[in-house]
Amino acid sequence: MLTQYVTSSFIDALSYDEDKELLIVWIADRGPYEYQGVDPDTYQEFVEAASKGQFFNAEIKPTYDV
């Protein structure tokens, strides 16, 4: 599993397992949230997003179940 620390006031880090399509979003002061079925392209877009919080709220949270 790859963990990448990010620059964000809302998100501390992203962990991703490509084989399982498992994304773990480490939210500041709240802990980890796991999302199943996240394809590699979506993960890469998340990593490259200028605003991790906006991408999370627009693309991850409404699309994937915790």
Q: What is the distance between the alpha carbons of residues 54 and 17, in angstroms, rounded to a whole number?
A: 22
Residue 27 located in a structural domain: yes
Do the beta carbons of residue 28 and residue 9 sit within 8 Å?
A: yes
26: exposed, middle or buried (Cβ count in 10 Å: 0-12, 13-18, 19+): middle
**Side chain identity at 25, as an amino acid letter?**
V
Residue 65 located in a structural domain: no
Q: What is the pTM of this model?
A: 0.92
Instruction: Render pLDDT for 9-44 as a digit per residue (tens, 0 to 9).
Output: 999 999 999 999 999 999 999 999 999 999 999 999
Instruction: Give the alpha-carbon dihedral of 7, 61, 20, 33, to 10 degrees.
Output: 70
Confidence of residue 6 (pLDDT cuts 50, 70, 90): very high
How high is the pLDDT of residue 18? 96
How high is the pLDDT of residue 65? 85
Q: Which domain holds residue 25?
A: 2-60
**How many separate domains does the chain show?**
1
